[in-house]
């Protein structure tokens, strides 16, 4: 009895003190993020201004040399551009494949739990294995070439593996659930009366879709796109395994500077450039899309 | 001229028959109400007229043209949804102008007509607001403006008042009727609220289990229900069960199962011995302190229960024969009675309506 009242009083104390309550609820996760995200990030920022000495030694003297190197050697700019480009290609391809699927799932009158479950099944295997299996499909004597040869569509095996296209294809595949699910859940939440209202007012199926369904589904499209773009542009495994030498993205180059060249300061500078470029890009996209105002100004 | 005609329309959803052989004509400029309990098929009937559902069998005509298989966007019909269905991402102007855009009304005229329709629903100057900035009542007026601005042959309204609180609903009822008279468009109004139906309609079509059970003016439906269902659904009544025992020249005699005898207006079409239900509206049952002289029937009774509801007061009364009678009296008519009080109850023979027994 006494322990029960004691417990209750702790809960009640939390209820009446919002700051303490917030601390208890958010504190553990915040600590985790601080230790393993904020602290390393600050370290990387600091490293990027330190001097590199051959042999992998970091000298604690301030320099802008690492950033100057990024600007003076056009290859890094090209790789940054390629990361964005591959990320965008993946996003667009995944979007084109996902929207109709999500639309179908959301409109299915008999429910779609089983189908959604099937979409999630690939997540039971590791990402590495799924990327490797794409190797088997895209290889010179792989599944795809064999089928195309067998059907007589091609006479010579086509080089698919170790191309930028292979990277986009592999990343698109693993991006689909991240695109389908947010679009599905937003489409599912659109009041079907709105579409019917558009039709009774004279809009045909396509016009009703363009006027009502599409704009109202944009929050889902944006959420999915941002997730897929970040995963794509920052991807390490897919370019490393499917891409070959000419398809390296920023993550591969950064890893290379750290692990192989032991040039931590330059690797850190590349990380910071990439991070800032991504943030600026996503902020611009967010501002352009202006999703918070599709329902007009707040009351 | 007939604006909407349904010819034995049936709609099945799998094994469920939502609308069963409904035939109905709605005249031009008429305010017709589809009345019935939830699940009776009234909303499906309306959706069939709008083109949002296709009938399993039967034909639908709008302005004397067959539209049975036309999609909604080729029918000159507007629909006002129960939840208003305003486009949340469009402001009031774009919401109202939506139908005009697809009817290819030029820009200047579009502005003019939106302005006029906003004046019609008493919300001038609201063009740039968004739905979420509007109250429920305002949203409803905008939905009405959006449906009317395209000047449809028929406006369908799906329980448009049911999401409003009582005071606003009463106000909107009057306004809706005024607007309908002003624009002269045919209204097909769906509701489960008999009060609303009686107040607004030129004619009421009562539905039950997918079937049309009675069509008539409010007065006909209220005063001459053709079935126990209609009598029970509209207004408050007493239903006394019995069978016909005797026919006279100007009256028919009914013996109730409790043993009580009632004399009712002559109903020669009913054979002696057939089972009947006698309906007596609760407001027709009158209470007296002493034995009344001018009633066709009078009984002594004990007050079982008293329900006070402002303008009226209801008494549940037990007769000596153990029949229960409900009486609704104006609160002002007499000093209130208490539970257990003895009282005389009376009603006229003309107030007894015979319904065929179940």
Chain A residues inside the 8 Å CB shell of B75: 200
Model pLDDT for residues A154-193, shown as the tens digit of each residue: 888 888 888 888 999 999 998 999 999 999 999 999 999 9
Q: Tens of pLDDT along chain B (358 residues)?
A: 889 999 999 999 999 999 999 999 999 999 999 999 999 999 999 999 999 999 999 999 999 999 999 999 999 999 999 999 999 999 999 999 999 999 999 999 999 999 999 999 999 999 999 999 999 889 999 999 999 999 999 999 999 888 888 888 888 899 999 999 999 999 999 999 999 999 999 999 999 999 999 999 999 999 999 999 999 999 899 999 888 888 887 888 889 888 888 888 887 777 888 888 899 999 999 988 888 887 788 899 999 999 998 889 999 999 988 889 999 998 887 778 888 889 999 999 888 888 875 5
Burial A127-142 (b: 16+ CB within 10 A, else e): eeebbeebeebbbeeb
Indicate the DSSP class of residue A128.
H
Residue B133 near chain A (CB below 8 Å): yes
Q: Do the chains contact at B73 and A202, CB–CB below 8 Å?
A: yes
What pLDDT is recorded for position A123?
Answer: 80
Three-state SS string over A66-122 comes to: HHHHHHHCHHHHHHHHHHHHHHHHHHHHHHHHHHHHHHHHHHCCCCCHHHHHHHHHH
Better-scored residue on pLDDT, B10 or A128: B10
Contacts of the segment A216-220: beta carbons below 8 A, 24+ positions apart: A216/A186, A216/A190, A216/A294, A216/B88, A216/B89, A217/A99, A217/A183, A217/A186, A217/A187, A217/A190, A218/A289, A218/A291, A218/A294, A219/A186, A219/A291, A219/A294, A220/A102, A220/A182, A220/A183, A220/A184, A220/A185, A220/A186, A220/A187
The DSSP-derived string for A176-228 is: HHHHHHHHHHHHHTS-HHHHHHHHHTT--HHHHIIIIIHHHHHHHHHHHHHHH
Closest CA to B256 of B279, B226, B228: B279
Residue B62 near chain A (CB below 8 Å): no
Residue A215 has its nearest CB partner, among B89, B91, B132, at B89
Q: With contact defined as beta carbons under 8 Å apart, do A108 and A188 qualify?
A: no
Closest CA to B217 of B6, B31, B22, B3: B31
Question: Measured between CA atoms, how close is B160 to chain A, in angstroms?
Answer: 14
Name the β-bridge partners of B287: B345
ipTM attached to this prediction: 0.85
What pLDDT is recorded for position B60?
Answer: 96
Give residues 212 to 251 of A whose Cβ lies within 8 Å of B: 212, 215-216
The rounded mean pLDDT for chain A is 89
Question: Measured between CA atoms, how close is B178 to chain A, in angstroms?
Answer: 23
Confidence of residue A7 (pLDDT cuts 50, 70, 90): low
| Chain A CA closest to residue B96 | A201
Three-class DSSP category at B314: strand
Residue B130 has its nearest CB partner, among A197, A207, A296, at A296
Residue B87 has its nearest CB partner, among A202, A204, A212, at A212
Model pLDDT for residues A106-117, shown as the tens digit of each residue: 988 777 788 888
Interface test with A, best of B75, B102, B104, B145 (most A CBs within 10 A): B102
Better-scored residue on pLDDT, B163 or A85: A85
When pLDDT is averaged across residues A259-286 and rounded to a whole number, the result is: 92
Structure tokens belonging to residue A38: 């904020």
| Separation of alpha carbons B329 and B312, rounded Å | 6
| Chain A CA closest to residue B74 | A202
| Separation of alpha carbons A281 and A274, rounded Å | 10
| Separation of alpha carbons A258 and A251, rounded Å | 11
Question: Measured between CA atoms, how close is A287 to chain B, in angstroms?
Answer: 17
Q: Do the chains contact at B133 and A296, CB–CB below 8 Å?
A: yes
Chain A residues inside the 8 Å CB shell of B73: 199-204
Give residues 156 to 215 of A whose Cβ lies within 8 Å of B: 191, 193-194, 196-204, 207, 211-212, 215
Lowest mean pLDDT among A9-18, A79-88, B207-216: A9-18
Confidence of residue A210 (pLDDT cuts 50, 70, 90): very high
| Chain B CA closest to residue A214 | B89
Question: Measured between CA atoms, how close is A279 to chain B, in angstroms?
Answer: 28
Three-class DSSP category at A277: helix
Residue B123 near chain A (CB below 8 Å): no
| Chain A CA closest to residue B152 | A201
Residue B352 near chain A (CB below 8 Å): no
| Separation of alpha carbons B108 and B18, rounded Å | 44
What pLDDT is recorded for position A30?
Answer: 92
Better-scored residue on pLDDT, A35 or A293: A35
Residue B284 near chain A (CB below 8 Å): no
Residue B78 near chain A (CB below 8 Å): yes
Q: With contact defined as beta carbons under 8 Å apart, do B324 and B304 qualify?
A: yes
Chain B residues inside the 8 Å CB shell of A215: 89
pTM of the model: 0.83
| Chain B CA closest to residue A207 | B102
What pLDDT is recorded for position B358?
Answer: 54
Angle between helices A164-188 and A214-233 (to 10 degrees): 150
What pLDDT is recorded for position A154?
Answer: 87
Indicate the DSSP class of residue B40.
S
Three-state SS string over B132-170 comes to: HHCCHHHHHHHHHHHHHCCCCCEEEEECCCCCCCHHHHH
Chain B residues inside the 8 Å CB shell of A110: none
């Amino acid at each position: 009895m006494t322990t029960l009242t004691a417990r209750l009083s702790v809960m009640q104390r939390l209820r009446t003190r919002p700051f303490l309550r917030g601390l208890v609820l958010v504190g553990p996760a915040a600590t985790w993020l601080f230790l393993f995200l904020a602290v390393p990030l600050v370290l990387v920022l600091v490293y990027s201004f330190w001097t590199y000495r051959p042999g992998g030694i970091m000298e604690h003297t301030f320099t802008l040399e690492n950033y100057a190197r990024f600007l003076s050697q056009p290859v890094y700019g090209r790789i940054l551009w390629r990361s964005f480009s591959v990320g965008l290609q993946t996003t667009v391809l995944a979007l084109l494949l996902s929207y109709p699927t999500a639309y179908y799932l959301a409109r299915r009158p008999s429910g779609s739990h089983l189908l959604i479950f099937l979409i999630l099944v690939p997540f039971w295997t590791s990402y590495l294995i799924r990327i490797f299996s794409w190797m088997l499909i895209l290889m010179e004597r792989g599944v795809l070439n064999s089928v195309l040869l067998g059907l007589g569509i091609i006479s010579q095996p086509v080089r698919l593996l170790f191309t930028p296209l292979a990277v986009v294809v592999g990343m698109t595949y693993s991006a689909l659930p991240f695109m389908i699910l947010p679009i599905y859940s937003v489409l599912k939440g659109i009041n079907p009366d709105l579409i019917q209202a558009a039709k009774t007012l004279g809009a045909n199926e396509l016009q009703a879709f363009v006027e009502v369904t599409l704009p109202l589904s944009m929050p889902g499209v944006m959420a999915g796109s941002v997730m897929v773009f970040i995963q794509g542009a920052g991807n390490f495994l897919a370019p490393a395994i499917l891409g070959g030498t000419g398809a390296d993205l920023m993550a591969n180059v950064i890893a290379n500077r750290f692990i192989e060249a032991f040039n931590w300061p330059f690797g850190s500078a590349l990380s910071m450039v990439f991070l800032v470029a991504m943030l600026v890009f996503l902020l611009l996209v967010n501002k352009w899309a202006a999703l918070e105002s599709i329902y007009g100004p707040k009351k | 001229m007939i604006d909407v005609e349904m010819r034995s329309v049936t709609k099945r959803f799998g094994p469920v028959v939502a609308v069963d052989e409904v035939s109905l004509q709605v005249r031009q400029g008429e305010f017709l109400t589809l009345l019935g309990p939830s699940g009776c098929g009234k909303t499906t009937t309306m959706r069939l007229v709008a083109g949002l559902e296709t009938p399993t069998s039967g034909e639908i005509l709008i302005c004397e043209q067959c539209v049975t298989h036309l999609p909604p966007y080729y029918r000159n019909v507007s629909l006002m949804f129960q939840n208003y269905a305003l486009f949340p991402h469009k402001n009031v102007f774009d919401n109202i102008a939506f139908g005009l855009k697809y009817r290819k009304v030029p820009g200047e005229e579009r502005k003019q007509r939106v302005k006029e329709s906003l004046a019609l629903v008493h919300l001038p100057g609201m063009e740039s607001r968004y739905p979420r900035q509007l109250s429920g009542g305002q949203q409803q007026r905008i939905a009405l403006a959006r449906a009317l601005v395209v000047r449809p042959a028929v406006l369908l309204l799906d329980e448009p008042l049911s999401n409003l609180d009582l005071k606003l609903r009463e106000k909107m009822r009057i306004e809706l009727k005024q607007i309908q008279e002003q624009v002269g468009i045919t209204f097909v109004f769906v509701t489960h609220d008999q009060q609303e139906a009686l107040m607004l309609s030129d004619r009421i079509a009562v539905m039950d289990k997918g079937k049309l059970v009675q069509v008539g003016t409010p007065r006909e439906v209220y005063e001459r229900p053709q079935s126990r269902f209609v009598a029970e659904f509209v207004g408050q009544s007493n239903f006394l069960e019995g069978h016909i025992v005797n026919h006279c020249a100007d009256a028919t005699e009914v013996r109730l199962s409790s043993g009580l005898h009632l004399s009712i207006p002559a109903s020669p079409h009913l054979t002696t011995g057939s089972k009947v239900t006698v309906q007596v509206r609760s407001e027709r049952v009158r209470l007296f302190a002493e034995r009344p002289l001018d009633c066709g029937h009078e009984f002594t009774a004990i007050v079982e229960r008293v329900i006070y509801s402002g303008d009226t007061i209801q008494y549940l009364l037990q007769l000596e024969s153990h029949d229960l009678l409900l009486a609704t009296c104006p609160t002002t008519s007499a000093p209130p009675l208490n539970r257990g009080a003895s009282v005389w109850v009376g009603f006229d023979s003309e107030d007894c309506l015979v319904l065929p027994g179940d």
